[in-house]
Structure 1
Amino acid sequence: MEVFSAVLAFAWLIYVWETYLSSRQHKIYKIVKDIPKELTSVIDSGTFEKSRLYALDKSNYGFWNGLYSQIELTLILCLGGLPFLWDLSGKVLGKLGCDPGNEIVHSLMFSFLGNIFSLITDLPWKLYYTFVIEENHGFNKMTLGFFLTDMMKKTAVSEAISMPLMALIIYIVKVGGDYFFVYAWLIVFIISMVLLHVYPEYIAPLFDKYTPLPEGDLKQKIENLAKSLDYPLQKLYVVEGSKRSSHSNAYMYGFRKNKRIVLFDTLLEDYSPVTREDKEEDFKKEDISQSEDGDATGESKKKIGCNTEEVVAVLGHELGHWYYSHMVKNLVIMQFNIFFMFFMFGKLMNMHVLFSGFGFPNFQPILIRLYVVFSFLFSPFNEVMSFLMNVLSRRFEFQADEFAVNLGKKQYLKTALLKLFKDNLSFPVADWLYSTRHYSHPPLLERLRGMDDVKAKRE
């Protein structure tokens, strides 16, 4: 019980720390009502206020959702939720004619029932976030039917991937001997590599429509940029993200000489499927009213997204990540981390005192031991790793910005970032301690200043 109490106390300590950090950022949202001087010429007061209110709503949501999650976890652990669910999964297997004594099958049922429980308890929060917060701020594009169907598809795909992997890991721990952690890591590594190729090619299209980028100036300029850098671009896609949300993004994927670039339709100013018409109409109406009030010009917001040169600049930044092998470096770090965690699990898994306080004094299933070690005992390590990875990620972002600047894209990248911040209603001011812990990307003002400090080589 001493171990259990210590684990629970540390979980609450982390929660209190995270709540303190969030309160610092929440205070920023409340008191900062003036546009930073660097942005006064590019962000109007109406947009700044909208981004502030959007941030406040998300911050309030995060507080209550975090409190609920922490209380729920505490009650589950203190009231014996884990052994109860293990016993229940055994009874379900018995009614289905399966053998509850088969630990792997029993573990799969335990995980499935646990995931269903989480799905149900999380559903009201997800509905509120999507259909109240995102809806009120003009981002949600999903109907309730689409939302529920999409959620069920994601759950089915997740279970189809995680269940076989879980069964393999449990089997390897049972029969792998002293070096099981090597085999477990190899399995995770191989499956990760397979998913890096399979997911964007075969799984992602189950949820969104991917179409080749139409011929035109944008496609030509992207191909020319890729060719100038010897980037082995094979295909250019546009994904119809606008059927879900007005938020925008772009990413690259692929192995070696088989690279792809995917652009969200919401990123492209001149790419306007039906699902975006309402959003653009909102912007046009807003422009008219703001022009009459003298707060903004009618032309400033007629379209969302970025123009051709700005999209190319954004991809210049993304190509910087490829040039400096940031994705490969992150992958290597992640694999070393997984290997280390499996190794440490091997050292801890037979210390029965660690798991008895969680309601398993006698038989201690491997899945329960994995859950306790990875979710709780490793939590201090995970906190440190998360912080260090954010520090590294911000460094990578500055490097990618510098790469784009050296391509002569500084002004276009700046305007693209500003447009994306405006379109996504991102708040440009951050508390230093909160951003240090949570931001994987530097705050907007830091990125703009960082680009100004770079002496472009090709401008």
Structure 2
Amino acid sequence: MLHYIIIAIFVLDFIWEQYLAHRNRKRMSPHIPDVLKGIYNEEKYARQQAYQKEYSRFGLLSSSVSFVLILLVLVFRLFGWLDGEIREHIVFPLLVTLCFVGVLYTINELIYLPFSYYATFTIENKFGFNKSTKKTYWSDQLKSLLLAILLGGGILSLLVWFYNDFENTAWLYAWALVTAFSLFMNLFYSNLIVPLFNKQTPLEEGDLRNAIEQFAQKTGFNLTDIYVMDASKRTTKANAYFTGLGKKKRIVLFDTLINDLDTDEIVAVLAHEIGHYKKKHTLQSLITSIIYMGVLLYILSYFIGSRQLATALGSDIPSFHLGIIAFSILFTPISLVLGLITNVISRKNEYQADAFAAKYGLADSLVSGLKKLSTKSLSNLNPDPWNVFVYYSHPTLLQRMKKLKEIK
């Protein structure tokens, strides 16, 4: 019975995702909607629609392939079969889990690498976004693989050890490990991980740095580290991010952002990010994720040793890796509800960060900057409302423009 429940949840989740994707496709039109006039012109809108349609078809294909393959694995209980094959050659539980996960990871990469390659060098090339060379692309793949082996393999090994050896208190050790790793990444991601892929250089002295520093001083935001990242060697799309905690804060600007926006617009975008910090959204998000992970690991501890779940996946021996797979599927409905709540809170926080920027007279510059970023990346500015409610962590551009207008 549990076997069929797992399959039913997996199938219903796929149907739900495809229904929402279908609703988004129905919104596409060769004629520019009135709400987008003045943001997209006819030519740019036609390109945006072509780009969205291309990715919609591509997403349908890739997700369908994934669905069919995993469904076959679940129906024929191949997870259990693989577990049994590995156990014929390996006895030590930790090595069984590492080998099991390693095999699945390898198969997954081999199947989806062609999709990633096509998206980068066909779709992104076609619309002028991709600047990555094939050498850079394969180098990125290799580095990502090594990070997955070193970081992922190390953390997985510790988690398996905890759950195999500490029984009822294992989730507490696992929680401490995941929390420590999250804090470490918050503090050192930009210093240790990003340099493996991109060069970051301090923003040179000049009008832009002066404007950023003056605004930071005006808001009482202690900022000394402002870096520029060479994102243009991979893409024309622009972005910026804010990392670190306490005194160890860093703002990183994509060089494409500096090329696309003027000084006031960049300051407005950063004002929005500083608003998140001032409103303690970053801290709230971190604390919430830590609590959420603790609850998740506690519930997971009841799945790890379940013989019924192992049997549902085709094995007679309960294990960490089979428990994780069963849990990830059975938890899907709860995860969907929690995701809805998280996105509602996140969109509220985005409005508050926008209001912070507007308080300093940057509403018009923020709107102007967001328009440029959205139109240059050919973003879907008129998505289906259900998709926004379910998936969007940020309000749409039109919603943000409306709210900023009300604030002014």
TM range (shorter): over 0.9
Matched, 1:23 2:22: yes
* CA distance in 2 between partners of 1:5 and 1:41 (Å): 52
1:85/1:114 contact within 8 Å kept: no
Matches within 5 A, 1:97-136: 100-136=90-126
Partner of 1:75 in structure 2? 72
User: Separation in 1 of the partners of 2:363 and 2:206?
Assistant: 23
Distance (whole Å) between structure 1 residues aligned to residue 46 and residue 380 of structure 2 = 9
Aligned ranges for residues 283-362 of structure 1 at < 5 Å?
A: 305-361=260-316
Q: Aligned residue for 2:333?
A: 380
Q: How much has 1:185 moved relative to structure 2? A: 0.6
Cα distance in structure 2, aligned partners of 1:185 and 1:35: 49
Equivalent residue, structure 1, for 2:258: 268
2:218 to 192, 213, 228: 228
Secondary structure in 2 matching 1:185? helix
What is the identity, as a one-letter code, of the residue corresponding to 1:152? L
Is 2:20 aligned against 1:49?
no
TM-score (ref. length: structure 2): 0.96
| Pairing partner for 1:411 from 351, 361, 364 | 364
Which residue of the other structure, out of 398, 402, 406, is the alignment partner of 1:449?
A: 402
Matched-pair contact (CA < 8 Å) for 1:321–1:396: yes
Q: Which structure: larger Rg?
A: 1
Which secondary structure does the structure 1 equivalent of 2:31 belong to? coil
CA distance in 2, matches of 1:408, 1:108: 54
Correspondence for 1:394:
347
2:11 aligned residue: 12
- Deviations for 1:252-299, whole angstroms, at most 9, x for unmatched residues? 111201211000011012xxxxxxxxxxxxxxxxxxxxxxxxxxxxxx
**Separation of aligned partners in 1, 2:85 and 2:127:** 42
TM-score between the two structures when normalised by the length of structure 1: 0.86
Residue 254 of structure 1 aligns to a residue whose secondary structure is strand
How far off its partner does 1:245 sit?
A: 1.0
- Given that 1:234 and 1:258 are in contact with CA atoms closer than 8 Å, whether structure 2 keeps it comes out as no
Distance 2:162 2:400 in 1: 46
1:428/1:445 contact within 8 Å kept = yes
Q: Which amino acid aligns with 1:263?
A: L
Task: Give, in angstroms, the shift of residue 143 of structure 1.
Answer: 2.0
* CA distance in structure 1 between the aligned counterparts of 2:287 and 2:324, rounded to whole angstroms: 23
CA contact (8 A) 2:175 2:297 kept: yes
Distance in 1 between residues matched to 2:34 and 2:222, nearest whole Å: 41
- 8 Å Cα contact 1:48/1:427 also seen in 2: no
Report the equivalent of 1:291.
none
- The separation in 1 between residues aligned to 2:78 and 2:149, in whole angstroms, is 21
How far residue 235 of structure 1 moved from its aligned partner, in angstroms, is 0.8
Residue-by-residue CA offset, 1:145-168 (whole Å, 9 max, x unaligned): 221221111111122111111111
Partner amino acid, structure 1, of 2:286: L
CA distance in 2, matches of 1:42, 1:66: 31
Cα distance in 1 between the residues matched to 2:334 and 2:291:
14
Cα distance between partner residues in 2 of 1:49 and 1:89: 52
Cα offset, 1:369, TM superposition: 1.2
Contact 2:310 2:319 (C-alpha < 8 Å) held by counterparts? no
Q: 1:238: how far off?
A: 0.6
Q: Secondary structure at the match of 1:453?
A: helix
Q: Which of 310, 318, 324 is the aligned partner of 1:370? A: 324
Q: 1:259 & 1:314 partners in 2: Cα distance?
A: 17
- Name the aligned partner's letter for residue 62 of structure 2: N
Q: C-alpha displacement at 1:132, in angstroms?
A: 1.4
Contact 2:39 2:375 in 1 (8 A): no
What is the identity, as a one-letter code, of the residue corresponding to 2:255? D
Is the CA contact 1:232–1:258 (under 8 Å) kept in the aligned structure 2? Answer: no
Given the alignment, which residue of 390, 397, 405 partners 1:437?
A: 390
Cα distance in 2 between the residues matched to 1:87 and 1:148: 34
Q: In 2, distance between residues paired with 1:229 and 1:74? A: 53
For structure 1, list consecutive stretches of 5 or more residues without a partner in the other structure: 95-99, 270-304
Question: How far 1:448 moved relative to its partner?
Answer: 0.5
Match of 1:254 in 2: 244
One-letter identity of the residue aligned with 1:194? F
* Matched letter for residue 132 of structure 1: T
- Percent identical across equivalent pairs? 29
Equivalents in 1 of 2:230, 2:86: separation in Å?
A: 40
Contact 2:30 2:46 in 1 (8 A): no
Cα contact 2:187–2:248 (8 A) shared by 1: no
Shift of 1:426: 0.9
Matching residue of 2:34: 36
| Amino acid paired to 1:397 | E
Measured in 2, the distance between the counterparts of 1:198 and 1:386 equals 27
Q: CA deviation at 1:199?
A: 2.0
Q: Whole-Å Cα distance in 2 between the matches of residues 5 and 318 of structure 1?
A: 46
Q: Which residue of 2 aligns with 1:59?
A: 56
What is the CA-CA distance between 1:88 and the residue it aligns to?
4.6
- Three-state SS of the structure 2 residue aligned to 1:247 is coil
Partner of 1:206: 196
Count residues with an aligned counterpart: 408
Q: Distance in 2 between matches of 1:159 and 1:372?
A: 23
Shift of 1:454: 0.6
Moved more, 150-159 or 190-199: 190-199
Q: Please tell me the residue identity of whatever aligns with 2:337.
A: V
How far apart are residue 125 of structure 1 and its match? 0.9
Determine the C-alpha separation between the residues in 2 that align with 1:84 and 1:124: 27
State whether residues 51 and 425 of structure 1, in contact with CA within 8 Å, keep that contact through their aligned partners in structure 2.
yes
**Structure 2 residues not aligned, in runs of 5+:** none
Contact 1:226 1:232 in 2 (8 A): yes
2:101 and 2:64 map into 1 onto residues whose CA distance is: 24
